[in-house]
Amino acid sequence: MKRHVSPTFWAVHRKEETWAVRTSSGPHTLGTSIPVSVILRDVLKYTTTGREAKMIVKQGKVKIDGKARLDERFPVGLMDVVTLPDTGESYRALPEKGSRLILNPIKGDEVSFKLCQITGKNILINGVVQLQMHDGRTINVQPDGPYKVNDVVKLKIPEQEILGYIAFKEKIQSIITGGRSQGETGLIVGLGSESGRKRTATVRTQKGEDIRTLAKYVFPLGTETPMISLPGEA
The domain made up of 3-106 has a fold known as: 3.10.290
Going by pLDDT thresholds of 50, 70 and 90, the confidence category of residue 11 is low
Q: Residue 117, SS3?
A: strand
Angle at Cα 68 formed by Cα 64 and Cα 71, nearest 5°?
85
Q: Residue 76, SS3?
A: strand
Q: What is the pLDDT of residue 81?
A: 97
CATH 2.40.50.140 assigned to domain 173-222? The reply is no
Class level of CATH domain 111-166 = mainly beta
Q: What is the pLDDT of residue 195?
A: 82
Residue 132 carries which side chain, given as an amino acid letter? Answer: Q
148-187 residue pLDDT tens: 999 999 999 999 999 999 999 999 999 999 988 999 999 9
Q: What is the mean pLDDT of the segment spanning 97-115?
A: 91
Report the alpha-carbon distance of residue 80 to residue 65 in Å, rounded.
6
Domain boundaries, the chain: 3-106, 111-166, 173-222
Q: What is the mean pLDDT of the segment spanning 214-223?
A: 95
